[in-house]
Amino acid sequence: MLLGCIADDFTGATDLANTLTRRGMATVVLLGVPHEDVDVGDADAVIIALKSRSIAAAHAVSQSLAALDWLACGGARQHYFKYCSTFDSTDAGNIGPVAEALLDALKQDFTVACPAFPTNKRTIYQGHLFVGDVLLSESSMRHHPLTPMTDPLLTRVLQRQCKGRVGLIAYDVVERGSAAIRGVVARLRTDGVRIAVVDALTDAHLLAIGEACADLKLLTGGSGLALGLPENFRRAGLLSAQAAGVLPKFSGHAAVLAGSCSAATQRQVAKMKTGSNWFEIDPIALREDRAAVAKVLQWARPRLGKEPVLIYSTADPATVEKAQAALGRERVGHLIEAAMGEIAKGLVGMGVRRLVVAGGETSGAVVTALGIDGLRIGEEIDPGVPWTASLGEPPLALALKSGNFGADDFFLKSFEKLGTADEFFSIPP
């Protein structure tokens, strides 16, 4: 393992995994700190996805240290702490406390903090974080329910969270390239700065910062800062030029489970609903009929074959509101998520090996129900959504799509991209 990463949430982990894979590192995402016996194969990078963004700082620190321990045992040469490109945190943490705890554990005196993600219009200038053309504190992040960001000056935000000194590597240095950055890093270290926020306005800046940080044992940032890291390992002769992200061919049946009600998923469901291979889940029926899940599976069994089946609870806002009024917002969500998990288990039992899931919470419910420890990242279907292969038995091809991602033809396109093994029908229904 070359790079051992800790991400403070699941979609952040897959975002980072996607970046590393596209640049040639075979990458595995583990869902939580793993049991010791998880086999990550020949992965170049391993990312442990935590849910530590908005929990108490002490818990975030202890979970992150447990993750670091596991990664260090795997022999990672460099470590990466991934957080959100909008620096989601409060004065109590968790970015500062976790970064300092990781530095202590690794016996290091210095790291950088760079959440910039120019592709998504997150840039840093003179330590100030911009979202599009406004400061972070003017963006919708100021109203975030858990981590409202009302101060755009990252050096000040981070200093409030840290015991050690926070400094800045400003734009003019970054613009001059990696040698200049390295020079300033050396000076900041002598001055006793422990974490330096680094300005970045473009991907070229991120590449230069990545190159300058090749020898740091710990880096912290968004997924953008990772852009330059694969090339560092390649330059050091540790990474081959081969493409990463090639998954094995999968045989077995195909299905789509859609629990997202986002506008994009509504369009994707409508687009796929042409023949009779679709089933709509009614949340009220889930509450009233204990055999509801069994009926979905009964419906699916004879239809599993050449074409993928679609099972969805996706609905327009008025229908969602009606269900929420009848059952309560949380209850209806839980009912559907639990049902989706059970349906996924049933489908896999019937030979489904290629599964697309729409919805962040829905995906979480499905991977938990299937008892999946980790995912190897494969080819990107649409921006930000790769195919993945689950670790463990049986291996499944999974595409986990957060609600609003993907083009209208995402579902069918996914299966076309994946292709199938010749022995497609070898798994009996």
From start to end of 78-234, where are the E strands? 78-82, 111-114, 122-125, 128-131, 134-135, 165-169, 193-198, 218-221
CB-wise, 175 or 280, nearer to ligand ADP?
280
Residue 261 binds to ligand ADP (criterion: CB under 6 A):
yes
Q: Does 341 bind ligand ADP (CB under 6 A)?
A: no
Nearest-CB residue to ligand ADP? 403
Residue 403 interacts with ligand ADP (CB under 6 A): yes or no = yes
Which of 135, 136, 336, 344 contacts ligand ADP by CB under 6 A? 336
Q: Which range of residues in 137-145, 235-243, 269-277, 354-362 is near ligand ADP by CB under 6 A?
A: 354-362
Asked if 362 touches ligand ADP (CB under 6 A), the answer is: yes
108 closest CA partner among 194, 17, 14: 194
Q: How far is the CB of 22 from ligand ADP (least distance, A)?
A: 22
- Among residues 63, 64, 86, 313, which is the contact residue for ligand ADP, using CB under 6 A? 313
Judge whether 401 and 387 are in contact, CB under 8 Å: no
Distance CA 51, CA 8 (A): 5
Q: How many CB atoms lie within 10 A of CB 379?
A: 17
12 binds ligand ADP per the rule CB under 6 A: no
402 binds ligand ADP (CB under 6 A): yes
Residues 212-251 that bind ligand ADP (CB under 6 A): none
User: Could you tell me which stretch among 154-162, 192-200, 356-364, 371-379 binds ligand ADP (CB under 6 A)?
Assistant: 356-364
Phi, psi for 265 (deg, rounded to 5): -65, -35
In sequence order, which residues have a C-beta less than 8 Å from that of residue 98 and are 6 or more positions away? 6, 8, 52, 57, 60, 61, 64, 81
Distances 193 to 96, 124, 188, 211, 413 between C-alpha atoms, Å: 13, 19, 5, 20, 50
Instruction: Determine the size of the site formed for ligand ADP (CB under 6 A).
Output: 21
Please confirm whether the linkage preceding 394 is cis (ω < 30° from 0).
yes
By CB under 6 A, is residue 355 in contact with ligand ADP?
no
Q: For ligand ADP, give the closer residue by CB, 113 or 261.
A: 261
The 3-state DSSP class for residue 14 equals helix
**DSSP H or E stretch at residue 312:** strand 309-312
Of 4, 333, 374, 378, the residue at the interface with ligand ADP (CB under 6 A) is 333
What 8-state DSSP symbol labels residue 44?
Answer: S
Of the two residues 246 and 270, which places its CB atom closer to ligand ADP in the complex? 270
Q: List contacts with ligand ADP (CB under 6 A).
A: 259-262, 283, 313, 315, 319-320, 323-324, 332-333, 336-337, 359-362, 402-403
